[in-house]
A and B are shown apart, each in its own frame.
Chain A
Amino acid sequence: MIKSLIAFFATLVFGAVLLLAYPDTWISPGHLTEGHAKISANCASCHTPGQSATPEKCQVCHRVDQIGLTRVDGSALPISATTSRTRFHVALTRADCAGCHTLHPGQQARRDPSAFQHEFLDRATRTACATCHTAQAPKDARHTSTSTQCGSCHQTKAWKPATFDHAALSSAGGTCVSCHAKVTPANAIHQQAAGDCGTCHRTTQWKPADFEHTRYFAFDGNHPSTCATCHTTAGTFKTYTCYGCHAHTPASVASKHREERITNIDNCARCHRSSRDRGEGGEGGDGRRRREGDGRERSRERGGEGVPTRAPENRSALRQQS
């Protein structure tokens, strides 16, 4: 017991002497930076017991309004390289040097940058990101085409993830593909969309999309089909066929339509927009509409493309006109 007590007190006293005599070796978390080497044995130069290094002690040598302009000995620094830094430190509303800096690079030359709080900056500087982030300012067209502040899309904590309001884009030209070329879907149905993404998708998010097959043919209990059932030609959704299912044989369909003197019976959905649609549209026996609506309709018929382009409600008008 006595031996233990002797060992305890001897260590305590001897250790305390060592700590006071050689603090840089025994307790410093790393050698001081070169500029502070002269005060490496005098911890109290920067540290206040219980408070670490206080800003007041830092500012004894580093005057905030002179940071970036002059050295601590008063000699001038090259102004061109340091102007922004000067503005930065002056704009701080709260003095907390140790929040970002450490003088013991053995531990960390610079603290984690994420520890910096932008709330320390005054409002004007905080919203003018380029005051400090001059080198990081993006130069790509996506960013140069917008005139809004960085904060409209980005957070101060991290550059990503970002939110983006497409309304901020200038209206001069530009399509979705102008920016999203790398993520344009390559599958067949999207290749046929011809870049008009907004027909089905929204700018807020890609999914859910609202592709309305009903515009062409409404699915119902009789037709809960997969794409390939009707779109039998690989690689395209412009063509389709209704033949091949129970009653839809070319012979039976031709027989029924012959009574109406309809001969073009390959493009069923032009008249039948659903299984219940009786297709009372008007077609002549020559397979062409008796009165053609517009040029787009005409070109599709002549081109033999299956997908109709006219809205169903227009067909009644056609019927009346015929």
Chain B
Amino acid sequence: MLRSVVTGKIVKTLFWYALLILTALGSDYVLHRLGLYWVGRYFGIAGTVTILIALTYSLQKRKIVDVASPKFLLSLHEGLSWAGALMLLVHAGVHFNALLPWAALVLLLVVVASGFVGRLLLADARAAMSQRAAALAKEGLTAPEIEKRLLLDAVAVDAMNRWRSVHMPLTTVLAALTILHIASMLAYSRWP
């Protein structure tokens, strides 16, 4: 049961992830065809601001702010993070050759993936494993037996839990790279 739930969620996760990348590629292609690739520069600003707004959820979760219901903020976090990531991927289409923006881009994709794991996979996997454990208990199995039967599922959930736990540290590393990127652009590039 857990595997079927997880498989379905993996497909859903991959769909949204693929949609993000394909939409970014499609948008970048259209902008280049129209000769509007320079618009991507401004998507960098818009994407960053969008993701900063999405971070309200993280701040409220750590009781730094209290502005809205957690459920609403989580939905906002998911939606704005996806949209912000899309804008930043399009922003990356403005051709670069240096390591810093490349590192930031790769990290952005990893952070988005870790967010998908936390949201779409882990919660359902935990619920499914609890139901399975309860069912086995009803069948009269002892705790060690249940643990033995659910060993592989527990390992999978644990792996996902660990993966999700890197979401916030990776986000802070991404924030640091973003700050360095913005600082270097302000120092060495001409705006607008």
B188 contact set on A, CB distance < 8 A: 27, 43, 47, 49, 52
Minimum CB–CB distance from B17 to chain A (whole Å) comes to 23
Considering only residues 1-48 of chain A, those with a C-beta below 8 Å from chain B are 1, 3-5, 7-9, 11-12, 15-16, 19, 25-31, 43, 47
Q: What are 28 sample pairs from A and B whose C-beta atoms fall under 8 A apart?
A: A1-B168, A4-B168, A5-B172, A7-B170, A8-B172, A8-B173, A11-B172, A11-B177, A12-B176, A12-B179, A12-B180, A15-B100, A19-B180, A19-B184, A25-B99, A26-B99, A27-B98, A27-B184, A28-B97, A28-B98, A29-B96, A29-B98, A30-B97, A43-B187, A43-B188, A47-B188, A52-B190, A53-B190
Note all chain B residues with C-beta closer than 8 A to A98. 190
Residues in chain B near residue A295, CB distance under 8 A: none
Number of A-B contacts (CB under 8 A): 71
Contact between B187 and A49 (Cβ–Cβ < 8 Å)? yes
Partner of A15, one of B170, B176, B190: B176
**Residue ID in chain A nearest B97 by CB atoms:** A106
| Complex: chain B residue closest to A105, CB-CB | B97
Q: Does B26 touch A at the CB level, under 8 Å? A: no
A75 at the interface (CB under 8 A from B): no
Within the complex, the shortest CB–CB distance from A229 to chain B, in Å, comes to: 51
Size of the A side of the interface (Cβ < 8 Å), in residues, is: 30
Residue of B nearest to A46 (CB): B188
User: Which of B98, B172, B190 sits near A25, CB closer than 8 Å?
Assistant: B98
Q: Is A205 among interface residues, defined by CB-CB distance under 8 A?
A: no
A51 CB–B CB distance under 8 Å: yes
Which residues of B are at the interface with A, using a C-beta cutoff of 8 A? Answer: 62, 95-100, 168-173, 175-177, 179-181, 184, 186-190
Distance of B4 from chain A, by nearest CB (Å): 34
Interface centre among B168, B175, B179, B188 (most CB of A within 10 A): B188
A-B interface, 7 closest residue pairs, ranked by CB to CB distance from nearest? A52-B190, A11-B176, A8-B172, A106-B97, A12-B176, A27-B184, A4-B172
Name the B residues within 8 Å of A51 (CB-CB).
Answer: 190
Q: How far is the CB of B174 from chain A (nearest CB, A)?
A: 9
A26 contacts across to B, CB distance below 8 A = 98-100
Q: Does A173 contact B (CB under 8 A)?
A: no
| Interface status of A50 (Cβ within 8 A of chain B) | yes
Instruction: Enumerate chain A residues within 8 angstroms of B190, measured Cβ to Cβ.
Output: 51-53, 98
Taken together as a complex, chains A and B put the C-alpha atoms of A37 and B53 apart, in Å, by 42
Chain A contact residues, CB within 8 Å of chain B? 1, 3-5, 7-9, 11-12, 15-16, 19, 25-31, 43, 47, 49-53, 98, 104, 106-107
> What's the Cα separation between A138 and B189 when bound, in Å?
39
Which residues of the other chain, A, contact B168 by a CB distance below 8 angstroms? 1, 4
Q: Do A107 and B184 contact each other (CB < 8 Å), given the known contacts A1-B62, A19-B100?
A: no
Chain B nearest CB, measured from A267 CB (Å): 62
Which residues from chain B contact A3 at a C-beta distance below 8 Å? 169
- Of all chain A residues, which has the CB nearest B181? A27
Write the chain A residue with the least CB distance to B100.
Answer: A26
| A8 contacts B175, C-beta separation under 8 Å | yes
Residues of B within 8 A of A4 (CB): 168-169, 171-172
How distant is the Cα of A4 from the Cα of B97 in the complex, in angstroms? 28
Q: Is B186 a contact partner of A50 (Cβ separation < 8 A)?
A: yes
B-chain residues with CB within 8 Å of residue A30 when the two chains form the complex:
97
Bound complex: CA A4 to CA B173 (Å): 8
Q: What residues of chain B lie closer than 8 Å to A28, measured between beta carbons?
A: 97-98
A49/B186 in contact, CB under 8 A: yes
Q: How far is the CB of A120 from chain B (nearest CB, A)?
A: 17
